[in-house]
Every structure is written in C-alpha cells, then in structure tokens.
Chains A and B, each alone.
Chain A
C-alpha cells in the first residue's frame, strides 16, 4: 500500500475518532447544563367545582347571568316533571280490559 493511501486511511481514522469524541461530549466546550425539567407541577386546577347539573351554572357564580341560567334549567326540568306526572296519571288510571275470544 502506498504511503499516500496510508495517510488517507490514518486521517480518516483520526477524524472519525475525533468526531466520535465530540459527539459523545468529550471534546465539547463547556458542557451545556441539563435542560430544566419540563415536568413542572400543573397549574392548580380551578377550585374543585362539582359538575353542573342539567345546564345549571357554576355553583360559585352568583351573577345575574348565572342565576338566569339556573332558572332556565329549573324551568326545563319542571316541564319534564309535568310530563312524568302525566305518565304516572295515565298508568295509575289505566283500567284492565278483559280479553275476549
């Protein structure tokens, strides 16, 4: 093998080794500090508000808008109760019919 080829091979080996050392951080300058942990505590969730029921507003909201929303939700359920009561009336009033042949 000619001398030139040997030099080329040597340079490649040395360059490869140097790159490897750099990549592993041995040849790096000042080591970058490890990044700050990103797992910060999640922001405190809003206060433990219970889930709203049937379109009611938040239990802690006493504004006029919230009260109006609550009243609308209540009135909607009142209409449902009228319907349920009618079903009960129909059931209780149902008279048996004798089957004939």
Chain B
C-alpha cells in the first residue's frame, strides 16, 4: 500500500514569510493634517482683566459643554491608544511574517499612537469651540482606529496564528506518517489511518490558503474618512476576511480531529489525545 508522503500532501503550504510580507499595508490616516492645522486658539492671557479676575487660558474661556467634550475625547483617545498598544504586542508575537514586515506594521501602529497623543494635547489646549469640535470629530473621522487599523492588524494576527498551527500540525503529520508506515510494516491495517492522514493534509493546506485570503482581502483597504461608500466597502471586506478565518479555523479543528483518530488507531499513549472543543 502506497502512502503518499505527507510532505507531498502539504506541498501547497507556502513559506508564510513570503505569503504575508508583501501584502499587508496598514493604511495611514491623514489625521496628522487635523493635528497640524493652524488652530484659532486664543492666546494665553495670564494678566488681570478690568474685572480684576485673573484669566488663565483654558479654565476661564471654556464652557461646561466644552469641558465635557474634552473629557470625553481624552477618554476615547486613551481607549484607542490602549487598543493600539495591545495590537502592537500581538504583532510582536507574530511568527510567520518577516522581521521587516513586523517592524513596518509596528511602526505604523506607533505612528498612530503618536498622532493620537499629539491630538490629545491639542484638544486639551483648545479654547475655541469650533476648533475643539473639529478636533474631537477627527478622533473618529480621521483616526479610523476601530474602523480600519485594528481590524486589519487583528486579521493579520489571526491569519498568522492559523498558518503557525498549520505548520506545527504539518510537522506532527510527518511523524504520524512515519508511525503509520511502521505500523503497516508490523501488519496493522492502516487504510483508515492513511485516509485520515490525507484528509489532515488537505485540511491544513486549505487552512493556509484561507488565512492568506483573509489578509489579501483587507491589507490594502484605505480609511473611509467619513465616506459611506468606502465605509461599506471596508466593512464588506472585513466580513469576507472574518469568514475566511472562520473557515480556516474549522479546517484546523477538523485536522486536529484527524490527529485524534490516527492516534487512536495507532494506540499511541499520550496524555492529550482528545480534541479540545473549539467553536
């Protein structure tokens, strides 16, 4: 009985470093334009007015509504920065991409954080309502952190993990192939085991393809800047990518079940032969 080598089955598993590296581009927002715009900020007046009241710039000229808006904007910016920090940490943990790609992605995230920090400083110093309103709106309009940057990074990270898993199970599959061959030589009927191994290889190959498709669908998206058409297009692309990743995950779970079946057939004594149930 010929057992197709596992390496042949999984020949389509590409070196992931070449898969993701040219594709993902975290679209830069043009938010810096808002930050650097010449704002009509009232000059600080620390002198005493005719009324005899000392007027420091920020406290005296802001209304209560403005103060509330500033507080809320600070909170939203802090939330986005925290999310970006988490995303950056996840990028550092990616394993299948090239170091240059990782550095590039991290730099893009850091640029977003720096721009948001600058915007926060500007908002905190705004004393003109119109300027404040524009700056606060730019947090969501120009800095499309939640609408674009984070989904892109998270999709790339999940795809990276999927390919890492496929690579690991490919290695495990080669070992199982050797064990099946050995069992066959010893007289065991390995028909079912070989079928499970072949299915495992197919599932791993599909999972890798779907992971790549997820990244390809989202890597070149651009900020919508409030454009509803672009917004809808981006949302559709992310939904497609999510579906690809879900399919990749299902394939990996199926491959893992094949591993369990093979181990059971080989009567391999391990402490972890049951499949963890994953959605």
Q: Tell me if B212 is interfacial: C-beta within 8 Å of chain A.
A: no
- Give the contacting residue for B171; candidates A59, A75, A92, A94; CB below 8 A: A59
Whether A82 and B171, one on each chain, are in contact in the complex, defined by CB atoms closer than 8 angstroms, is no
| CB within 8 Å of A: which B143-181 residues | 146-147, 150-151, 154-155, 157-158, 161-162, 164-165, 167-169, 171-172, 174-176, 178-179
Whether A81 and B259, one on each chain, are in contact in the complex, defined by CB atoms closer than 8 angstroms, is no
- CB-defined interface of A84-101 with B at 8 Å, one 1/0 digit per residue? 110111011010110101
Interface centre among B154, B249, B252 (most CB of A within 10 A): B154
Q: Tell me if A80 is interfacial: C-beta within 8 Å of chain B.
A: yes
| CB within 8 Å of B: which A45-101 residues | 53-54, 56, 59, 61-62, 64, 66-68, 70-75, 77-82, 84-85, 87-89, 91-92, 94, 96-97, 99, 101
| B contact residues around A71 at 8 Å (CB) | 172, 259, 263, 270, 272-273
| Count of chain A residues near B, Cβ 8 A | 34
Interface centre among B133, B158, B253, B259 (most CB of A within 10 A): B158
Looking at chain A's contact residues, the main secondary structure is helix
Whether A85 and B168, one on each chain, are in contact in the complex, defined by CB atoms closer than 8 angstroms, is no
Whether B146 and A81, one on each chain, are in contact in the complex, defined by CB atoms closer than 8 angstroms, is no
| B contact residues around A84 at 8 Å (CB) | 90, 154, 157-158, 161
- Give the contacting residue for A68; candidates B69, B158, B270, B279; CB below 8 A: B270
Supposing A72-B272, A99-B139, A101-B133 touch, asked if A92 and B242 sit within 8 A by C-beta, the answer is yes
| Count of chain B residues near A, Cβ 8 A | 54
Nearest chain B residue, comparing its CB with the CB of A94: B146
| B contact residues around A94 at 8 Å (CB) | 146-147, 151
Q: Tell me if B276 is interfacial: C-beta within 8 Å of chain A.
A: yes
Supposing A68-B270, A99-B137 touch, asked if A78 and B65 sit within 8 A by C-beta, the answer is no
A92 to B152, CA, bound (A): 10
Whether A78 and B278, one on each chain, are in contact in the complex, defined by CB atoms closer than 8 angstroms, is yes
Whether B249 and A85, one on each chain, are in contact in the complex, defined by CB atoms closer than 8 angstroms, is yes
- Give the contacting residue for A59; candidates B146, B165, B174; CB below 8 A: B174
Please report B residues at the A interface, Cβ cutoff 8 Å.
Answer: 65, 69, 90, 95, 133, 136-137, 139-140, 146-147, 150-151, 154-155, 157-158, 161-162, 164-165, 167-169, 171-172, 174-176, 178-179, 231, 235, 238-239, 241-242, 245-246, 249, 252-253, 256, 259, 263, 268-273, 276, 278-279
5 pairs of A and B residues whose beta carbons are closest in the complex? A68-B270, A84-B158, A91-B151, A62-B175, A92-B238
19 residue pairs of the A-B complex, CB under 8 angstroms, read: A56-B168, A56-B171, A56-B172, A59-B174, A67-B263, A67-B270, A68-B271, A74-B256, A74-B259, A75-B272, A78-B256, A84-B157, A85-B158, A85-B246, A91-B151, A91-B238, A92-B238, A99-B136, A101-B133
